[in-house]
Amino acid sequence: MVAPGFFAMLTTTDAARRRWSIASRVLAATFGGYALTSLLTLFLPLVLATVGLGQAQTLLAATTASFLVYAAIVLAVFHARSAAQAWVWLAGTAFPLGLAVWLLLPGARTLSH
């Protein structure tokens, strides 16, 4: 026989789990989205400069694109099936992008030797 308060405890636990999931998504969207957008804002001018665009144009393009990218990241975080999947997606995207930024920076070749 199940105790009378058992089902109430389950719903409280489920509600708490949902609250933690939403809190984790908010943190992922806020901080993870900011970090990923910052990396992309660093990456874009470095790539566009190698194509031959001027410094002002590359910075303007990257800064303008960053607003759309941040909004898309926030939507993607809340669209993910779980908060853990959102965090894995953010980390999995940020790592290669950060590596590319590090390799494209002007002093990266001297630091790696």
- Residue ranges covered by each domain of the chain: 22-106
Residue 10 CA to residue 28 CA, distance in Å, equals 27
3 state SS of 24: helix
Structure tokens at 32: 């993870």
Q: What is the pLDDT along the chain (113 residues), one digit of tens a residue?
A: 556 665 555 566 888 899 999 999 999 999 999 999 999 999 999 998 888 888 899 999 999 999 999 999 999 999 999 999 999 999 999 999 999 999 988 876 565 55
Encoded tokens for 35: 């970090």
Q: By C-alpha distance, which of 20, 21, 23, 32 is closest to 72?
A: 32
